[in-house]
Amino acid sequence: MLQVRLFLVSLFFVAMFGGAVYRLVDLQFNRAAELAAYRDRRLSHIEQKMPRRGRILDATGAIIAEDQPTQDLWITPARTERVNRRRTVVSLLPPLTADQMLAISAAPGEARDLERNVAIAALAEGNRLVAELADRLKLPREEVAEKILDGILSGRPGSRDDLVYPRPVLDNIDFALGLEIRAARANPFDDELWDPVVIRTGGRRVYPAGAIVGHITGTVGKLTAEEYDELRGHWEDDVMVPGKGVITKQGRVFFSLLSGENGEPVSDEELIIRLREIKRNGRMIKTQGYFANETVGRGGVEQYYNQALRGRHRLQRLRLTRDEQSGRRRFEPKGEVERAENGPDIRLSLKLDVQRQAYEIMDRHIKQVAKRPELVRSGWTQSGVAILMDANNGRIHALVSIPSYDPNTFNRDFRKLADDPHLPLVDRAIAGIYPPGSVVKPIVGLAGLTENVIVPGQKFHCDRVMYLGGARFTCLGRHGDQDLETALMNSCNMYFYHTGELLGGRRLYEWYTRMGLGHRTGIDIAGEKGGILPRNAYTRRGWATGNTYHMSIGQGIAVTPLQIAVSFAALANARGDIMRIVRPHLLIPPPTPPENGVEAELAREAMALDQPLSEIQIDREALAVVRQGLWETVQGKPETGQLGTGQLAAFPNSHGGYLLEVAGKTGTAEWSRVVGGRVRKQISHVWFAGYAPFDRPEVVVVVFLPEAGHGGGSTCAPIAKDLLRMWFNLPDRMDVLVEEEGALG
């Protein structure tokens, strides 16, 4: 019996020893890599290395937008500790606990707001760090507490582990305070007050030119929690379901998956590896290459070229270490410190001095127009658009939209700007859609000649009024017999009623579309709108001759001022029997060879933008007739002394010649509004569009004032003249000014 007991005891100890040996062998050889990875995850985390955002420069190298270095304050909400051999997460912001932070993040709607307000009050009342920061920054405690809590919640923490990563809280703090905090954190025996605080070098976007480039540059802002969630996507087991990758419905989609070293998209296999690594190392890392609270472009060039300007962010692994003297633990870089790649500079075709002068010219004229009694009575919104564009390649030299906004104060003034009834946030040059009126008549005339429905020299009679099925169609005057050149010079509606009827709605629709009207031009600014061309004109369903009449004189359609610039550029740049439709753009190649893949890609894109979007076959004689009509619109008929509707844009000198010969067309577009169930006619929109010099076109000019009245010839032609005088640096004193208040078009 004793032997049996000894045998059983021995067997028990052998089994125990064998199990221990097996376990040790399993841990040492089979699970070594897994355990090492587990240890690294517990003792390290990944930190974002933020690059400097690329500068935006004008054609001469002057700075339009740049980052100025700042010291930004980040808060780490909690830290990990071991209590009774168990790992716990402890809040660094008492009396706010880690559980309360998670509860606020997860709470819905009104409940979240209530808990958030309670937490702000608790931090303001009982947290030393909040009190010290409020005192040093000269801010109310409640405001500091609110910024800290909003910074914590911006990353949408979903677990306690998420709370051990820093969140940005305050931008551009005092330099002396930043140095003090850095010194305190480097001293192992200093007070633990600043333990939750991390000082990182950031950047504040500065726009030296202010409001004159507001719509062009756009501005920058932080990713919101909602945008972050939209981009992050979600995991289903080991399969990543990516987010939409879009936070705006306008402009270039600037969120993309992680890219390789050369700027090209990574392979599917590498992407899966990166996504898994990101999943395992914390939710602060963006699954699409973006990070929570990252600065991104908002509108304009900043948004359109955001992917290039943002640079390449890096991920630095930090390992938890313990100071031998104080025993305090810190995260220190593990391995080689990776540097973020700053965004490349991009160069625009704008010249700041030209843009500034164009803005001042527009502003001065708009203030003069606003003094008209009828505009004072109507409470006219002082607004307008001016465009100067290269006729041959589409490069924008000046793009003015008034009213504008200052991108330096955009985030601070956003609510005021958004509520402003004058709509300063709307770029009327690319997003304002208006009836063009008579500025489309050159297109109608060219289409009629090219399609052989009219011939050069053919005349139509204008008796000011014509009727069609009881409907009344009018003209500005009783012009008598008109050929195409004279009809353009006088802006005679009757001629184009007849021409449009011969063309038909379908061919009118096709020509407007070919000439760039009614759809986006593709300019490299976020927020461009298309336009309105009646599809029924093409399908002929419910379409009547009267509709064609309206369409022939630029009524019943809606375009942006930039689309008019594109169509006049085509009239200007035609060579032989080919017209080129250019793509308006701002990006131009850098003056020096590219240094990396991103710069090379930008240079290739800039060169591609200079190429025409399409070419249109035309009749050379037809184009010559239309161009002559545009010349006479401005200079008139010297042999007869007749003056055109665009006479106030002419540059006559004292010798009977011209300092500069301009081709152009005026426009006055009527429109109505339904008020109280009744249709009421409103003050007309007015236009001038043209190009110069006439014999070797260099620049296209478009001026537009919504609801300004008095005709494009009286209101917009003088502005266009001042813009061309500025561009070509022409003197004032040699002008013989011709005043003709009744000039309409």
Dist. CA 545–CA 471, nearest whole Å: 11
Class of residue 110 by CB neighbours under 10 A (exposed 0-12, middle 13-18, buried 19+): exposed
- Read off the pLDDT of residues 267-315 as tens digits, 9 standing for 90 and up: 444 444 444 444 444 333 333 456 666 788 899 999 899 888 988 777 6
Owner of token pair 């003209």: 475
CB contact at 8 A, 301 and 217? yes
pLDDT band at 172 (very low <50, low <70, confident <90, very high): confident
Q: Confirm if 318 and 272 have CB atoms less than 8 A apart.
A: no
pLDDT score of 191 more than 80? no
314-318, 347-351, 376-380, 483-487, range with the lowest pLDDT? 314-318
Neighbour count for residue 49 (Cβ, 10 Å): 16
Residue 419 clears pLDDT 50, i.e. is over it: yes
Burial label for 510, CB within 10 Å (0-12, 13-18, 19+), is middle
**Residue 139: pLDDT band with limits 50, 70, 90:** very high
Average pLDDT over residues 163-182: 86
Cα dist from 78 to 97, 246, 628, 641, whole Å: 9, 32, 76, 85
Residues 6+ positions from 292 with CB-CB distance below 8 Å: 154, 155, 156, 167, 223, 225, 228, 284, 286
Chain position carrying tokens 């914590």: 152
How high is the pLDDT of residue 214? Answer: 96
| CA 649 – CA 662 distance, rounded (Å) | 8
**Helix, strand or coil, per DSSP, at residue 653:** coil
Show Cβ contacts of residue 597 under 8 Å, excluding neighbours closer than 6 positions.
261, 262, 263, 264
The H or E element that residue 692 is part of is strand 685-692
* Mean pLDDT of the region 15-25: 83
Contact 485, 628 (CB under 8 A): yes
Whole-angstrom distance, CA of residue 244 vs CA of residue 369: 47
Tell me how many degrees the CA angle 166-341-178 measures, rounded to the nearest 5: 40
Give pLDDT tens digits for 655-710.
878 999 999 999 999 887 766 777 778 889 999 999 999 999 999 999 999 999 99
Evaluate whether 173 touches 72 at the Cβ level (below 8 Å): yes
Any residues with CB less than 8 A from the CB of 483 and at least 6 apart, and which? 456, 457, 458, 459
The better pLDDT of the pair 612, 11 is held by 612
**CB count in 10 Å sphere of residue 131:** 17
Is residue 257 very low, low, confident or very high in pLDDT (cuts 50, 70, 90)?
A: very low
pLDDT tens by residue, 48-69: 677 889 999 999 999 999 999 8
Q: Is the C-alpha dihedral spanning 548, 549, 554, 555 positive or negative?
A: negative
- How confident is the model over 131-152, as a mean pLDDT? 92
φ, ψ for residue 720 (rounded to 5)? -60, -40
| Beta carbons within 8 Å of 411's beta carbon, 6+ residues apart | 219, 221
What's the sign of the alpha-carbon dihedral 428, 434, 437, 443?
A: positive
Contact call for residues 582 and 573 (beta carbons, < 8 A): yes
DSSP 391-459: TTT-BEEEEEEES---GGGHHHHHHHHHH-TT-TTS-HHHH--B--GGGGHHHHHHHHHHTTSS-TT--
Question: How far, in Å, CA of 606 to CA of 585, rounded?
Answer: 9
Greater confidence (714 vs 277) lies with 714
Give the DSSP H/E element, type plus range, for residue 464.
Answer: none
Taking residues 512-522, report their average pLDDT. 94
More confident residue, 621 or 326: 621
